[in-house]
Structure 1
Amino acid sequence: MEDGLAEGRRRVLVKLSGEALAAPDGYWLHAQTLATLADDLARTAATGVELAIVIGGGNIIRGARMSQAGWIDRPTADSMGMLATVMNSLALETALNAAGVDARTMSAVSMPTICETYARQPALHHLDQGQVVLIAGGTGNPFFTTDTAAVLRAAELRCHAVLKATQVDGVYSADPKLDPTATRYDRLTHDEAITRDLKVMDTAAFALARENRLTVIIGSIHAPSSVQAILSGHSPSTTVAP
């Protein structure tokens, strides 16, 4: 892209939705999708981009939605969602290893018999060594989305940008599936994203990105797009920056 994020030593945190991993029949994981995504991330890493990854758990469970049903409280439901992100991260770690990428999962929720506990300094060391770091468990606390966790970890790990790979190729003036006249924004400020209440990322995440002057890129994870294509400027996206 025009900011040159794919050139030289650049560090990007990629935020993936859990739904992106689901199979067409609704099963929570799809082997071919994992393999395709791992190949894309491997090609991106080969360009010199250092990658941290945060994956949601929505293909398995959504804590907020479950708590709204009224039969389980929000902190418990969110804790279950954190466990879902660990499962997704372990699955993608395995796919990355199969693609020849050295990757490891670190969880904000301590489970040392399964994966390494997240801490900033070890995560920085892994990134410096060229490993892809998958950061699971959200922030480790209820009431925070994985969008907010992604921006928080990006700020901690001195990332140059957050790439939110989502269902659409950027931020639009209206839902492009419902309004054919909707236009895509090429660039927005953090203040504009917050004031317009854009739903592509939650307000707390945008506010944290603004506070840390962190660029957020929104693009589509679906073919013909890819992480590598978005970062290199070959696929459309929206940049939210100071």
Structure 2
Amino acid sequence: MKYKRVLLKLSGEALMGSQNYGIDPKRLKEYANEIKDVVSQGLQLAIVIGGGNIFRGVSGAATGMDRVQADHMGMLATVINSLALQSALENEGIFTRCMSAIEMNKIAEPFIRRRAIRHLEKGRVVIFAGGTGNPYFTTDTAATLRAIEIDAEAILKGTRVDGIYSADPEKDANAKKFDALSFKEVYEKGLNVMDMTAFTLSHENNLPIIVFDMNKPGNLRKVIFGENIGTIVKN
């Protein structure tokens, strides 16, 4: 394997599958199988998942809801998704731990950095829920922060698109796919990879970001073994 320890960032929308909202059990099982494949190879894997399939804080604030309240609701949505993914992984025989930035001891462990690293060293998949625990920060930022804290070698951003393009490939047939980019090039081209806080944090800490299509079977394994799929952003 090219990597020993990585953080996988998934969007909440990815769990919808073909549905308009909520969680698709079929998609959960597909992801669990992909994750099982790489963990069985000895990969130390942490996961952060968004909550956009249930509630998005920014959207709530746009309708007049208090932004802090809306973001707290979004954080709880990430906990729901994390528990769903944990259940799917455990159904495949994978040992997991769910650690929440918001303390809720009945259903998840509190996030403690050294404990999280120890779980990874023991071969457990660690799911970080609750974002950063603070409003005004996205799960992209939470993923980057946790990746840095656990000394991950890369952030793998699993999406429904097979990399970073010069424009939205679903809207522009002439959009060009990039195989590799520097952080500087992403800034200069104004490309949308992660929110700016998360992206800057990755840049400053020399943490590569790999954007790839998580919905294509076998792609996660290919990334772990260093195959040239998706787009890598690095210094």
The TM-score with structure 1 as length reference comes to 0.93
Structure 2 CA distance for aligned equivalents of residues 131 and 220 of structure 1:
24
1:135 lines up with 2:132 in the alignment: no
* Whole-angstrom CA distance in 2 between matches of 1:139 and 1:106: 11
CA distance in 2, matches of 1:23, 1:218: 19
Report how far residue 229 of structure 1 moved: 2.8
Distance, in Å, in 2 between the alignment partners of 1:222 and 1:30 is 13
Once the two structures are TM-superposed, the CA of residue 200 in structure 1 deviates from its matched residue by 2.6
2:47 aligned counterpart, secondary structure: strand
User: Matches of 1:179 and 1:110 in 2, distance apart?
Assistant: 44
Q: Tell me the matched-pair count.
A: 235
Write the distance in 2 (CA, Å) between the matches of 1:196 and 1:225: 30
Match of 1:223 in 2: 216
Kindly indicate whether the alpha-carbon contact (under 8 Å) linking 1:194 and 1:203 is maintained by their aligned counterparts in 2.
no
What secondary structure sits across from 1:53 in the alignment? strand
Q: 1:5 aligns with which of 2, 7, 20?
A: 2
Structure 1 residue 147 corresponds to structure 2 residue 140: yes
Partner of 1:122: 115
2:46: which partner in 1? 52
Give the match for residue 15 of structure 2: 21
Amino acid in the other structure paired with 2:169: P
Q: Contact 1:194–1:206 at 8 Å: present in 2 too?
A: no
Match of 2:229 in 1: 236
* 2:25 maps to amino acid: A
| Structure 1 residue 24, shift from structure 2 partner | 2.2
What stretches of structure 2 of length at least 5 have no aligned partner? none
The one-letter amino acid of 2:74's match is: G
Does the 8 Å CA contact 2:34/2:218 hold for their aligned counterparts? no
Q: Distance in 1 between matches of 2:17 and 2:212?
A: 21
- The C-alpha deviation readout for 1:76-133, integer Å capped at 9, x for no partner, is 1000000000110011111111111101100001100111011111101101111000
Letter in structure 2 aligned against 1:22:
M
Instruction: Quote the Cα distance in structure 2 between the aligned partners of 1:233 and 1:90.
Output: 30
Determine the C-alpha separation between the residues in 1 that align with 2:43 and 2:83: 21
- Residues 1:198 and 2:191 aligned together: yes
What residue is the counterpart of 2:93 in the other structure? 100
- Checking the alignment, whether the CA contact within 8 Å between 2:100 and 2:110 is kept in structure 1 is yes
Measure the CA separation in 2 of the matches of 1:25 and 1:145.
Answer: 23
Q: Which residue of 2 aligns with 1:38?
A: 32
Pick the aligned partner of 1:186 from 179, 188, 200. 179
Structure 1: gaps spanning 5 or more residues: none
Change (3 A) 1:201 1:36: same
Instruction: Give me the whole-angstrom Cα distance separating, in 2, the residues matched to 1:97 and 1:235.
Output: 30
Report the AA paired with residue 142 of structure 2. A
RMSD: 1.4
Name the TM-score, length of structure 2 as normaliser.
Answer: 0.96
8 Å contact kept, 2:113–2:149 = yes
Q: Tell me, what secondary structure is at the counterpart of 1:28? A: coil
The residue type equivalent to 1:204 in the other structure is T
| CA pair 45-224 structure 1, distance change in 2 beyond 3 A | closer
The amino acid of 1:218's aligned partner reads: V
* Secondary structure in 1 matching 2:151: coil
Shift of 1:194: 2.5
Aligned partners of 1:13 and 1:161 also within 8 Å: yes
Q: Check the 8 A contact 1:111/1:117 in 2, yes or no.
A: yes
- Aligned residues of 1:168 and 1:220 also touching (Cα < 8 A): yes
Moved over 6 A (4+): none
Matching of residue 64 in structure 1 with residue 58 in structure 2: yes
Aligned to 2:71: 78
Q: Write the distance in 2 (CA, Å) between the matches of 1:29 and 1:133.
A: 20
